[in-house]
A and B are shown apart, each in its own frame.
Chain A
């Protein structure tokens, strides 16, 4: 029998001159709960090694590609959530079309995290810049992944995105 292969609901990477929309659904995601973790307060995110941890509600954190601490209760969310990354100088302009949050650098600087509505879907948004480029991770329930990708692809047409650049 063939080996099981991971399938993502999110489509192929879309890239324009100043924007990229890519799939990070296969990243390992873990929910941990407890009193505190790495000093990360609600509304904030932090790089941990090659991974990322963020919190959008009190006493719980989501880890992306990071090992959960052994002393905390952890639940695997890898297959529960889809993850889409939007990177580039036009990322904010695209987000402004689908999300009511203020992504001004003073209100939502690198290291910010929030649970909000993106294209009418409950989504966590994390500002996780790639070098000098602004970059945002959108983490939503997996079953909305295909829809969310479709909306972003549609809304990004004005940024001249194309598949597989």
Chain B
């Protein structure tokens, strides 16, 4: 390979004192700090960078920037790196993607020979049948797809997000964008200026000495203005309603990528223009480039793009490229001026460009530069609802109508000298600031905490004209060539698709996949639309563009995901459980101990000795006021008017549709002071629901409700020795006569004041539930473990508790009930008092009673006590499903399988034998029990 690095150039951005070593397909190369990967490779003489998607044709530099479809490479473990953009780093291992066995000899290039059979729709038409073979086809076709290699090991890269509330976001830091940012900032606006390149300046960076001087001045003003936050190597990826702007900040330090969610008051789009390639035979040969590629390579990176060039141009930019080439010592064989009738017919070469055919003549060249016009990247404007409008005279689409909070400047609007672009940008920036101030003032008035808005001058100034220059419409030569380099779509393919009936641009796009590759239409859309128009005989204006959707540039899944923020809740005893080897259970957001190694053993210890369980997630609502009994009467199905102080009552809540929504106990702690408990999972929902009733239906009730779930940690002490254990830590009288079942007391436990002690029992054992201030809960837990050593105290987890409650026949709302279970299906008719004036769900429950409950919760005993049917096993009657098992376990206490289930009403009577269908299809028999409780149905232990 030949060294193509030029002597120092005036605007070069490489640091010749900082050489960097890297490898290309295993071969060592050297570049400089400031090089892109592509410029360093080009300087080392690399001409071929990739193979194309479908035909595996050799491809070289086309644009030498982010949008170069031919220089997407694998870098270390990262696939699909835009090597025309990415800065070179020392030690990079750069390789070509999806070439086998090598880039030079790629076996899949055989596709070129059968290319005429690979027309649009080839895959759809060929692999549609026989359908069963599709998975096999898929495996083979995947080997042909592009995309590099991902490393499936866990990456230690970090990504994150942040919110921003700028007054103005400016997308693009060319001359107009910089001027807009400066003007807005000088008007007092907070500005985020976003530039896709590593440095600001846009086309000034590779321009004349005057351009470089203008850049230096504008750049200094940007850097000096503290109202401007400059983000380089970043891209405005999307604009959503309310000017919600997505900014992808690449490599900001600390993290690999950061997604900024900016709620901008105004957005200024100054994205410039994108140079269009020309469609002609051989337009993808290595050595064919757009003028911008040449100008960047020569002026920014001091790279000689070739030795002998032909320049085909329809504008001054092509002339500038020719001048740059001449200055770089490239022999410019001919400048073919389309404006003067010059005609580029085709390019030829076996693996790279060797001859250019113009107007019947052949010219030997290794470089062909085209400059045939521009595409306006209106993506962000389209996302704001604007439809681009085609200008025949300028041969490009221009912005259509825009909402007030989106403004546009620079090359997207028109062409001009640097002074004209800066003047337009300044005027737009000042207006963007004025509009932003108005919006900010409105938001300040609407935000309770905000200061009153200051009076600012929000008058808008006039904006100087910036008209697009006249440009000839030049899309395709007399020959056919590639339109979409990413997808290997030729002009012929588009015409053929249109002829097949895909005669709307959006249909043609979907059929051929033109504009659907990695460049997402930024290079291709102008040519695609023009060729589709040609095929259909419509004008380009009537054809319209495809729809540009977010994101504007690829965004990694890491950036979209950001840092992990999945809230979890821990009880004060969490670390103790972890230290004791508890297996964690995720219950809602709570992390709970499922068991400490032996759930059955934990059950036996509770039944025989005493166990303690952390039930802190239990929902707790502090209720104060004279109106609490009215509230309780309303939200529960049973009666609450005469609950004495010191007593506890159980209640079931039904929603307005009569469906069971929660259950729990309420303790009457003192005058007008109650503590309600809810299920752990239902805590938030019940709080919302009750608050809704209090705020909307019954604001006249004197009730103050406070959610105190987190304030009290809850420890259930269960087992025959629980009274003995608790009595060692409290002066509260635990005598079974004075502090009986379903009573509540307050007092100090283990030296902690104001504990609430409940005599209730989900496990069916004698038990006390202590609610203790969370900050002291660990102290109590450890005190219980210490004080109960000789009693055999041991912790038990959620699994043991679930087994014991099933033994006792206590249902769990949400486990044994579902979204259709109405009150009377619970089998606790005694708790539903239809003689109350009113309560939530009453009408529905009256109707349910009149209709007869359709299903019932019952206890079921498998006839073979060794079989535990899985939860959700069907209960069947012939081919009908007549119920299901809702809970099932092997009972360590009874040494047999036990179940709760839902059965159709006609099967609810004790003694009925039902069929239970196991998951393997086997049918077993189970008997409906008299009580829900399999164990101690009379509750003697509970009340002991």
Tell me the complex Cα distance, A60–B737, Å: 42
Q: How far is the CB of B930 from chain A (nearest CB, A)?
A: 41
From residue 97 to 132 of chain A, which have CB atoms closer than 8 A to chain B?
Answer: 97-102, 104-109, 111-114, 119-121, 127
12 new A-B contacts at CB < 8 Å, known A75-B624, A102-B165: A9-B570, A33-B704, A41-B448, A42-B448, A81-B710, A100-B261, A102-B263, A106-B440, A107-B450, A112-B450, A127-B449, A141-B709
Interface string of A138-153 (1 = CB under 8 A from B): 0001111011100100
Closest CB of chain A to B495's CB: distance in Å?
49
Q: CB distance B565 to A108 under 8 Å?
A: no
Knowing A4-B776, A120-B566, A143-B570, say if A44 contacts B449 (CB, 8 Å): yes
In angstroms, Cα B526 to Cα A25, docked, is 61
Whether A6 and B775, one on each chain, are in contact in the complex, defined by CB atoms closer than 8 angstroms, is: yes
**A89 within 8 Å of B by Cβ?**
no
Stretch at the interface among B156-164, B353-361, B870-878, B889-897: B156-164
* A143→B620 CA distance, assembly (Å): 13
Q: Is B451 positioned at the interface, with any CB of A under 8 Å from its CB?
A: yes
Taking the nearest CB of chain B, how far is it from the CB of A47, in angstroms?
Answer: 16
Residues of B within 8 A of A81 (CB): 710-711
Residues of B within 8 Å of A35, CB to CB, are none
Q: Which chain B residue has the least Cβ–Cβ distance from A34?
A: B704
Q: For B161, what are the chain A residues with a Cβ–Cβ distance below 8 Å?
A: 97
Tell me the minimal C-beta distance from B631 to chain A in angstroms: 15
- Say whether B750 faces chain A, with CB atoms less than 8 Å apart: yes
Hey, which chain B residues are within 8 Å of A97, CB to CB? 160-163, 563
Bound Cα distance A24, B783 (Å): 26
Bound state CA distance, A25 and B222, in angstroms?
44
Cross-chain contact of A109 among B451, B568, B622, B778 (Cβ < 8 A):
B451
Q: Bound complex: CA of A158 vs CA of B708, how far in Å?
A: 35
Contact with A along B551-585 (1 / 0, CB 8 A): 00000000000010111111110100000000000
CA distance A154 to B566 in the complex (A): 13
A80 at the interface (CB under 8 A from B): yes
Known contacts A4-B750, A158-B253; is A75 also within 8 Å of B449 by CB?
no
Q: Is B751 an interface residue (CB 8 A)?
A: yes
Q: Which of B190-212 contact A (CB under 8 A)?
A: 190
Distance in angstroms between the alpha carbons of A43 and B448 in the assembled complex? 5
With both chains docked as a complex, state the minimum distance between the C-beta of B621 and any C-beta of chain A, in angstroms. Answer: 11
**Cα(A107)–Cα(B446), bound, Å:** 10
Nearest Cβ distance between residue B445 and chain A, in whole angstroms?
11
Question: B812 contacts the other chain (Cβ, under 8 Å)?
Answer: no
- Our pick among A7, A101, A105, A142 for the contact of B710 (Cβ within 8 Å) is A142
The CA-CA distance from A96 to B247 in the complex, in Å, is 14
Q: Which of B677-732 contact A (CB under 8 A)?
A: 704, 706-712, 729
Q: Which residues of B contact A4 (CB under 8 A)?
A: 750-752, 776, 779-780
Q: A108-B449, A143-B590, A151-B565 are in contact. Are A79 and B779 (CB under 8 A)?
A: no
Q: How far does the Cβ of B76 sit from chain A's closest Cβ, in whole Å?
A: 23
Which chain A residue shows the least CB distance to B572? A7
CB of A2 to closest CB in B, whole Å = 7
A75:B710 contact, CB within 8 angstroms: no
Instruction: Determine whether A31 belongs to the interface, using a CB cutoff of 8 Å to chain B.
Output: yes
Q: Report the Cα distance A87→B583, complex, angstroms.
A: 38
Are A106 and B563 touching (Cβ within 8 A)?
no
Q: Are A79 and B751 also in contact (CB < 8 A) when A100-B261, A107-B443 are? A: no
B444: Cβ under 8 A from any A Cβ: yes
Is A77 among interface residues, defined by CB-CB distance under 8 A? yes
Q: Which 10 A-B pairs have the closest CB atoms?
A: A43-B448, A112-B449, A80-B711, A143-B569, A102-B165, A158-B254, A142-B710, A79-B774, A79-B711, A43-B449
Task: Tell me which residues across on chain A come within 8 A of B129, comparing CB atoms.
Answer: none
Residue B17 is within 8 A (CB to CB) of chain A in the complex: no
Q: A6 to B593: give the CA distance in the assembly, Å.
A: 23
A163 on the interface (CB 8 Å rule)?
A: no
Residues of A within 8 A of B567 (CB): 119-121, 144, 147-148
Asked if B773 lies at the interface with its beta carbon under 8 angstroms from chain A, I say: yes
Closest chain A residue to B783, Cβ basis: A1
For the complex formed, measure the closest distance between the CB of A100 and the CB atoms of chain B, giving whole angstroms.
5
- Which listed residue (A26, A41, A96, A147) contacts B568, Cβ 8 A? A147
B interface residues, Cβ below 8 angstroms from A: 160-165, 190, 253-255, 261, 263, 440, 443-444, 447-451, 453, 563, 565-572, 574, 590, 616-617, 622, 624-625, 704, 706-712, 729, 750-752, 773-780, 783
Known: A98-B565, A102-B263. A1 touches B449 (CB 8 A): no
Closest beta carbon of chain B to A79's beta carbon, Å: 4
Question: Is the CB–CB distance between A104 and B447 below 8 Å?
Answer: no
Chain A hits for B160, CB < 8 A: 97, 155
Asked if B163 contacts A109 (CB within 8 A), the reply is no
Residues on A with C-beta less than 8 A from B449 are 43-44, 107-109, 111-114, 127
Q: Which of B163, B164, B710 contacts A143 (CB 8 A)?
A: B710
State the CA gap A102–B261 with chains docked (Å). Answer: 12
Count of interface residues, chain A, beta-carbon cutoff 8 Å: 59
Kindly supply a per-residue 1/0 record for chain A positions 57-73, scoring 1 wherever the CB is within 8 Å of any chain B CB and 0 otherwise: 00000000000000001
Whether the Cβ atoms of B450 and A106 lie closer than 8 Å is yes
Query: Whole-angstrom distance between the alpha carbons of A154 and B565 in the complex?
Result: 10
CB-CB < 8 A to B570: which residues of A? 9, 143, 146-147
B773 — nearest CB in chain A belongs to which residue? A79
Contact A43 B568 (CB under 8 A): no
Would A2 and B779 count as touching, CB distance under 8 A? yes
In the bound complex, residues from chain A placing their C-beta under 8 Å from that of B163 are 96-97, 99-101
Query: In the complex, A94→B538 CA distance in Å?
Result: 55
> A25 CA to B774 CA in the complex, in Å?
11
Quick check: is A3 within 8 A (CB to CB) of the other chain?
yes
Query: Can you identify 16 A-B contacts, CB atoms within 8 angstroms?
Result: A1-B751, A5-B776, A7-B777, A7-B778, A43-B449, A75-B622, A75-B708, A102-B165, A107-B449, A108-B450, A109-B450, A141-B710, A143-B570, A143-B590, A143-B710, A147-B569
Report if A44-B448 is in contact (Cβ < 8 Å); known contacts: A107-B165, A120-B565, A146-B570.
yes
Chain B residues near A75 (CB, 8 Å)? Answer: 622, 624, 704, 706, 708
CB-nearest residue of chain B relative to A105? B451
Contacts of B255 in A (CB 8 A): 158
Complex CA gap A8/B570 in Å reads: 12
Chain B residues near A119: list those with CB within 8 A. 565, 567
Q: Which residues of B contact A141 (CB under 8 A)?
A: 569, 709-710
Residues of A within 8 A of B572 (CB): 7, 9
CB distance from B819 to the nearest CB of A (A): 25
Q: Is the CB of B444 within 8 A of A106?
A: yes
Nearest chain A residue, comparing its CB with the CB of B575: A146
Contacts of B617 in A (CB 8 A): 143
**Whole-angstrom distance between the alpha carbons of A155 and B752 in the complex?**
36
Of A43, A79, A112, the most chain B CB neighbours within 10 A belong to A79
Tell me the complex Cα distance, A80–B711, Å: 4
How close is A150's CB to chain B, nearest CB, in angstroms?
Answer: 9
Q: CA of A155 to CA of B563 in the docked complex: distance in angstroms?
A: 8
Smallest distance from the beta carbon of A112 to chain B beta carbons, Å?
A: 3
Q: Name the residue of chain B whose CB is nearest to the CB of A126.
A: B449
Question: For residue B447, which residues in chain A have a CB less than 8 angstroms away from its CB?
Answer: 43, 107
CA A104 to CA B227, docked complex, whole Å: 13
CA distance A157 to B254 in the complex (A): 8
The closest CB in chain B to the CB of A142 belongs to B710
- A154 and B448 within 8 A (CB): no
| Residue numbers in B under 8 Å from A109 (CB-CB) | 449-451
Question: Contact mask A18-49 → B, CB, 8 Å, 1/0?
Answer: 00000001100001010000000111100000
Tell me the nearest residue of chain B to A154, going by C-beta.
B563
How far is B444's CA from A77's CA once the two chains are assembled, in angstroms? 32
Contact between chains at B704 and A104 (CB < 8 Å): no
Most buried by A among B163, B443, B624, B707: B163
A130 to B752, CA, bound (A): 34
Q: Is the CB of A104 within 8 A of B565?
A: no
Instruction: Please name all residues of chain B whose beta carbon is closer than 8 Å to the beta carbon of A3 when the two chains form the complex.
Output: 751
Residues of A within 8 A of B783 (CB): 1
| A119 CA to B563 CA, complexed, in Å | 10
- Once the chains are docked, how many angstroms separate the CA of A114 from the CA of B447? 10
